[in-house]
Chain A
Amino acid sequence: MSEVLLTFKNFGFQYNAQAEPTLYDINLEVHRGEKILIAGPSGCGKSTLASCINGLIPFSYRGEMTGSVQLKGRETRDLSLFEISRTVGTVLQDSDGQFIGLTVAEDIAFALENDCLPTDPMHERVRRAAELVGIGTHMKHAPGDLSGGQKQRAALAGLMVNDVELLLFDEPLANLDPATGKQAIEFIDDICRQSGAAAVIIEHRLEDVLHRSVDRIILMGDGRILADMKPDELLASDLLARSGIREPLYLTALKYAGVQITPEKRPSGIRDIILSDQDKEKVRSWMASQDPVSGKKGGRDLLSAQDISFSYSNGRQALRNVSVQIREGELLAIVGTNGAGKSTFSKVVCGFETPQEGRIQFADVEDWMGLSIKERADHVGYVMQNPNQMISQTMIFDEVALGLRTRGVPEDEIRSRVEDSLKVCGLWPFRSWPVSALSFGQKKRVTIASVLVLRPKMIILDEPTAGQDYRHYTEIMEFLRELSSRGFTIVMITHDMHLMLEYADRSVVFSEGQVIADDTSAGVLTNPDLVKRANLKETSLYDLAQLCGIGQARDFAQYFIDYEREVVRK
């Protein structure tokens, strides 16, 4: 085994402000050049562990440390944050918070500037790092002109200028669309191989990280390390399911078909997996035993958009002849890359932007296009991605009541409507709490409640599950499904493929301002051409179907989803 870079021995940590330790009994070694995935649900302590690796603990966050953390043989508490950062480079989850320069070149140069390097060698090293990560042609771009993937590359270049030996990635996939996320994983892998740096990736989207192999997976739960093993061993065990981490879809499918998963079958990647003919036969016969569920849902058209075209004042055309029908009571996903027009479409529906051409008919409302933003909100509710951007009151009740108060509804009617809305959203027990006492997911419900209180027929949600772990994701999505079954029409703008596949009755795919597909989610995600154009990623169910010689990948994916919904959940 190669040289040890980082060692945790019987390590524990407790924040000053907290009553209980966040980490217990951490024993962990990271070797030079190794690639490790740390997975675990929200609140399991994986972010705190990251802070212990990069030195934010103990130098930025105060608390009590027990045991030892050594970086290249020296206790981190005896080093300084700056010395640690010469060895450990961190890519934070919030790419806009990480990007502090006015342009790409300045951001890459940041660490060198702080080292007082003269400008000439600095320019040279910045150029080399930029070329290494493939962003050399964007040196003068401002962060606002970059995509999420490009920002991440710039961040990585900013670390590579210093030849760090350990790269730490905090949820690198959180803000990327599926195709870009796939590229990011390939790219992280390539950079580590080239530079010989070790990588520690913190991420709960296990299947996406395993697109390229990792040496070990550390599974965390409740502040402890639950498992530290090779991916194949971990995936063959039932540890994932028990700790609230979603296992790769193809493994779930294999289990439904009754295939026994063992480490010898190399289950950690769909391309490496070894299935016997017997296993493949099991999958095929499982498929044959499924009955097609006629899942068509929804009745008459609720919203009908005809030939919408819209250009921003800077001349950029965001929508070109877009026509979309949304049926009453359905759960619809609108997907596509950033800038494909999916957000603009929802803004046009809500009246935030006025299209130059085309019209929208909503139920039997007369002259929808003539209604103001406020008037449209009585029919269509809009929920932003980050609940912190919507909440302005300190008490939950007041927050939910805000829209009614601005409409001059009498106070006793407000009370009953707010109470109804809180009950629907499962917030009734918290009705007299301040908003600050709630978790992120609960805040999300508050914003949904504050929109539902206006009694709209349809709700549009922007990235409803962004940044949520599997448990919270399931919680939010089951709630939306329940709303849908109560007759609300739910439209989700998303690039989360699991969400599409598992929950959306239908997906409308945007690309470059146009609608390029309108199909079931299984149909979209098993269509390689469509997947490529929309910057999505094929579901691994497609690969599994291919592997088992099933021609109808689309039906296979659909049966899988139906089986999950109908059989497993009940």
Chain B
Amino acid sequence: MNSVFCYIDRPSPIHDLTGATKLTCLLLWSFAAMMTYDTRFLAFLPVFSFLLFAFSKIRLKDVSFMIGFTMVFMILNNLLIFLFSPQHGVSLYGTCHELFSLGGRYVVTLEQLFYHLNLVLKYLSTIPIVLLFICTTNPSEFAASLNRIGVKYTVAYSVSLALRYIPDIQREYHEISQAQQARGIEMSKKETLFKRLKSASAILIPLILSSMDRIETISNAMQLRGFGKNKKRTWYMGRPFRTADILSIIVCALLLATAVFLNIRNGSRFWNPFS
């Protein structure tokens, strides 16, 4: 079980796309969503992504845990923004339609609510597509995909190594922390913060220093099998592009182009219904 990706091997048209396609689409899509605050566009993206989700045969319960996480993060971030800057919407949109007051400077305005709506839509436009990516992309294909979209293969291989050794390091951390707990190392709230950090070091030092020893072994193993010999390399998990791949990339490129176009036509990143 890989703790970064939660790859679910359940054949679907989305699974069939190459990893490189999905990565390219993810990047194009998230840049499109990040770039514009045009509400109409931001409202369209979640609808589109839910459709794709249905298409991919990934079920809601497969990802419910992560959805919970992201929802909490979204709500917290919205609350923080309102707490710090209740008039941010007013300054962005240039008008002020007061609705009611919560006391002090916390006057709720239509502009502020609209800004929060945009923020929520932004989350809803990216989260499903990210979940789709991590559930339908085989982690083994990820490094090959990075290399395909132009990342140097050595760096792409670092990512693959990270994915390879995360489970090992996780297990080692667990074992070391048990043995250290037996010696009385605690990180619970009972201790002062400084003591907690010192306790953490007693677990992290053996973990990290033994990982340092491993770097040399792995590097030898790789060189003995010809890593770094050529300017490029091929990938066992690499797959050729097919029509569906090219179509998907074109669709996502069009999304990005639309976002750019909307920003130019709106004269700013914001679509302003108040003026």
Q: Which residues of A contact B (CB under 8 A)?
A: 54-56, 59-60, 81-82, 85, 89-90, 92, 94, 96-98, 100-103, 105-106, 109-119, 122-123, 126, 142-144, 158-159, 347, 350, 352, 373-374, 376-377, 381-382, 384, 386, 388-392, 402-403, 406-407, 450-451, 454
Contact = CB atoms under 8 A, between A and B. Distances in A.
A390 B239 CA distance: 44
A102 B167 CA distance: 11
Nearest to A59: B223
Contacts of B201: 392
B224 interface: yes
Contacts of A122: 234, 236
A56 B221 CA distance: 10
Contacts of B95: none
B209 interface: yes
Given A102-B140, A119-B236, A392-B206, A92 B227 contact: no
Contact of A406 (B163, B185, B225, B238): B185
Interface of B: 2, 139-140, 160-161, 163-164, 167-168, 171-172, 175-176, 178-186, 199, 201-203, 205-207, 209-210, 213-214, 217-218, 220-230, 232-239
Contacts of B213: 388
Contact of B236 (A94, A126, A391, A454): A126
* Closest 9 A/B residue pairs (Cβ): A406-B184, A97-B217, A109-B236, A114-B226, A403-B183, A377-B182, A392-B202, A352-B178, A111-B225
B224 A374 contact: no
B168 A402 contact: no
A158 B185 CA distance: 42
B168 A144 contact: yes
B225 A158 contact: yes
Contacts of A143: 164, 168
Nearest to A158: B225
B137 to A, nearest CB: 12
B208 to A, nearest CB: 10
B210 A386 contact: yes
B182 A374 contact: yes
A113 B235 contact: yes
A389 B227 contact: no
A377 B179 CA distance: 10
A158 B222 CA distance: 11
A390 B202 CA distance: 9
Nearest to A384: B179
Nearest to A408: B184
B184 A374 contact: yes
B239 to A, nearest CB: 8
A383 B162 CA distance: 29
Nearest to A81: B223
A56 B168 CA distance: 26
A450 B139 contact: no
Nearest to A353: B178
Given A109-B236, A110-B225, A374-B183, 6 more contacts: A85-B225, A98-B217, A115-B229, A374-B182, A386-B210, A389-B175
A197 to B, nearest CB: 16
Nearest to B185: A406
A403 B184 contact: yes
A257 B226 CA distance: 53
B145 to A, nearest CB: 13
Nearest to B171: A144
Most buried by A among B176, B181, B199, B236: B236
A347 B184 contact: no
Contacts of B233: 113-114, 116
A231 to B, nearest CB: 29
Contacts of B164: 100-102, 143
Most chain-A Cβ atoms within 10 A of its Cβ — which of B201, B226, B229, B230?
Answer: B226
Contacts of B175: 384, 389
Contact of A100 (B182, B206, B207, B221): B221
Contacts of A392: 180, 201-203, 205-206
A391 B220 contact: no
A505 B236 CA distance: 52
Contacts of A113: 233-236
Contacts of B218: 97, 100
B222 A100 contact: yes
A450 B180 CA distance: 11
Contacts of A82: 226, 229
A351 to B, nearest CB: 8
Contacts of A376: 182
A454 to B, nearest CB: 8
A126 B230 CA distance: 20
B203 A106 contact: no
Nearest to B176: A389
Nearest to A109: B236
Contacts of A126: 236
A389 B206 CA distance: 5
A117 B221 CA distance: 20
Contacts of A450: 183
A97 B185 CA distance: 29
Nearest to A407: B184
Contacts of A403: 183-184
Nearest to B236: A109
A374 B205 contact: no
Contact of A115 (B182, B202, B221, B226): B226
A96 B237 CA distance: 21
A11 to B, nearest CB: 20
Contacts of A102: 139-140, 160, 163-164
Most buried by A among B199, B221, B227, B235: B221
Contacts of B202: 392, 402
Nearest to B167: A144
A382 B239 CA distance: 49
A381 B185 CA distance: 14
Contacts of B237: 106
A92 B225 contact: no
A65 to B, nearest CB: 18
